[in-house]
C-alpha cells in the first residue's frame, strides 16, 4: 500500500506552549517501497510516523493510504484499518511479560483476516528453539524479533518502525533489518523506518530527511544493499 501526505501539519499545544512538529509536509510513499526517515532529535520523525499510521491525528492536511483518506476516519474506523493493514515495531519491545514467545505472537494473530501460522512466523525470525520462553529469558535482540513476529503474523501491508534497532548491537540490528527486508521483498510490504543511524540508509529505496518538521531532502538510493552488508556507522 502507498501513503500520500498532502500539506500535513501537526501542532502540539501544551498549556501556553505550541510546538509545530510537522509543517505543511507533502510526501508520497509508493506501494512496496522501503523508506528510511532520518533527522535530528525533535525534528518530527515519530510525529510523522504517528500521523501517517493513524496513531495520531494531524492538525490539518490529508493522509491517504491506498485510496482511503485515513485523516477523515473516526477512531473506530481507524482502529479497524490499523488492525487489518498496519504493523508496528518500536524501540521498546512492548511484549506481554506473562506470556511466552508463542503466546505473544498469538496475540498479534488473533484479530487478523489471513494470517501466517504462529509456527511459520516464529521460524522466519529464527526463534523456534525459544518458543516456550518468556520475554525475561530472552536477549534484547530476541525480544525485538518476537515483537516483529507479533507485528508481521497478520501480514500487514505496511510496517511502521520507530527506531527498532535503537537498543540493539550491530549484529542483532542487522538481523532485525534483514527480517524487514525479507518481508518487503517477499510480500511487497511497504516499510517506513525511523533511525538515528545514517548508515542504515543503504537498505532504503529512498531516504527522507526531516529537520524542524519539514522534509529538507529526499535521496534516491540507486545502490540498495543487503542488511548484512551495512557498514555500521
Ligand atoms: N505529545 C506531545 N506533546 C507536545 N509536544 C510533543 C509531543 N510529541 C512530540 N512533541 C514535540 O514535537 C517535536 C517533534 O517530536 P518527535 O517526537 O516527532 O521528534 P523525533 O524526530 O521523533 O525525535 P527523536 O529522534 O528524539 O525521537 C518535538 O519538539 C517534541 O518536543
Ligand atoms: Mg522519535
In sequence order, the β-bridge partners of residue 153 are none
Atom of ligand 1 nearest to the CA of 49: 18
Q: Which domain holds residue 170?
A: 30-60+72-229
The half-sphere exposure of 106 on its side-chain side, counting CA atoms within 13 A, is 7
Distances (CA, A) of 197 to 78, 134, 215, 230, 231: 31, 30, 18, 11, 11
Task: Tell me which residue of 56, 59, 67, 62 sits closest to 26, measured CA to CA.
Answer: 62
The verdict on residue 125 lying in a domain is yes
Residue 148's CATH number: 3.40.50.300
The verdict on residue 116 lying in a domain is yes
The verdict on residue 13 lying in a domain is no
What distance in Å separates the CA atoms of residue 191 and residue 119, rounded to the nearest whole number?
Answer: 23
Walk along the chain (233 residues) and give the pLDDT tens digit of each residue.
Answer: 999 999 999 999 998 999 999 999 999 999 999 999 999 999 999 999 999 999 999 999 999 999 899 999 999 999 999 999 999 999 899 999 999 999 999 998 877 777 889 999 999 888 999 999 999 999 999 999 999 999 999 989 999 999 999 988 899 899 999 999 999 999 999 999 999 999 999 999 999 999 999 999 999 999 999 999 999 87
Q: Which ligand is located closest to the Cα atom of residue 55?
A: 1
> Is the sign of the CA dihedral 104, 110, 116, 117 positive or negative?
positive
For residue 118, the CA-to-ligand 1 centroid distance in Å is: 35
Joined together, the cell numbers standing for residue 167 give 537498543
The verdict on residue 103 lying in a domain is yes
* Nearest protein Cα to ligand 1, atom 7: 12
Is 191:159 a contact under the CB 8 Å cutoff? yes
Q: Which ligand is located closest to the Cα atom of residue 42?
A: 1
User: Which of 12, 22, 167, 210 best tests ligand 1's pocket when mutated (most atoms within 8 Å of CB)?
Assistant: 12
User: What is the per-residue pLDDT across 125-171, written as a single tens digit (0 to 9) for each?
Assistant: 889 999 999 999 999 999 999 999 999 999 899 999 999 999 888 99
For residue 108, the CA-to-ligand 1 centroid distance in Å is: 27
Q: Which residues of 160-171 are buried (b: 16+ CB within 10 A; e: fewer)?
A: bbbbbbebbeee
Q: Which ligand is located closest to the Cα atom of residue 50?
A: 1
Please work out whether the CB of residue 74 comes within 6 Å of at least one atom of ligand 1: no
User: What pTM does this model have?
Assistant: 0.95
pLDDT of residue 45: 97
Cα 131 to chain center, whole Å? 24
Domain count for the chain, please give it: 1
- Beta strand 34-38 with 86-90 is unpaired
Amino acid at each position: 500500500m502507498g501513503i500520500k501526505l498532502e500539506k500535513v501539519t501537526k501542532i502540539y499545544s501544551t498549556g501556553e506552549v505550541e510546538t509545530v512538529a510537522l509543517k505543511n509536509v507533502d510526501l508520497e510513499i509508493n506501494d512496496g517501497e522501503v523508506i528510511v526517515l532520518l533527522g535530528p532529535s525533535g525534528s518530527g520523525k515519530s510525529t510523522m510516523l504517528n500521523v501517517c499510521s493513524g496513531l495520531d491525528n494531524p492538525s490539518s492536511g490529508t493522509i491517504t493510504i491506498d485510496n482511503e483518506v485515513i485523516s477523515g476516519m473516526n477512531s473506530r474506523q481507524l482502529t479497524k484499518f490499523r488492525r487489518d493493514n498496519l504493523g508496528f515495531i518500536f524501540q521498546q519491545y512492548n511484549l506481554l511479560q506473562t506470556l511466552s514467545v508463542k503466546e505473544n505472537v498469538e496475540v498479534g494473530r488473533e484479530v487478523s483476516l489471513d494470517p501466517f501460522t504462529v509456527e511459520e512466523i516464529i521460524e522466519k525470525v529464527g526463534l523456534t528453539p525459544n518458543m516456550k520462553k518468556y520475554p525475561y529469558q530472552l536477549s534484547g535482540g530476541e525480544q525485538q524479533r518476537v515483537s516483529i513476529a507479533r507485528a508481521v503474523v497478520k501480514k500487514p501491508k505496511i510496517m511502521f518502525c520507530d527506531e527498532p534497532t535503537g537498543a540493539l548491537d550491530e549484529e542483532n540490528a542487522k538481523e532485525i533489518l534483514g527480517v524487514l527486508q525479507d518481508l518487503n521483498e517477499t510480500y511487497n510490504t511497504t516499510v517506513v523506518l525511523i533511525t538515528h543511524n545514517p548508515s542504515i540508509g543503504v537498505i532504503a529505496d529512498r531516504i527522507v530527511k526531516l529537520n524542524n518538521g519539514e522534509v529538507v531532502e529526499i535521496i534516491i538510493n540507486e545502490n540498495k544493499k543487503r542488511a548484512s552488508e551495512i557498514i555500521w556507522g
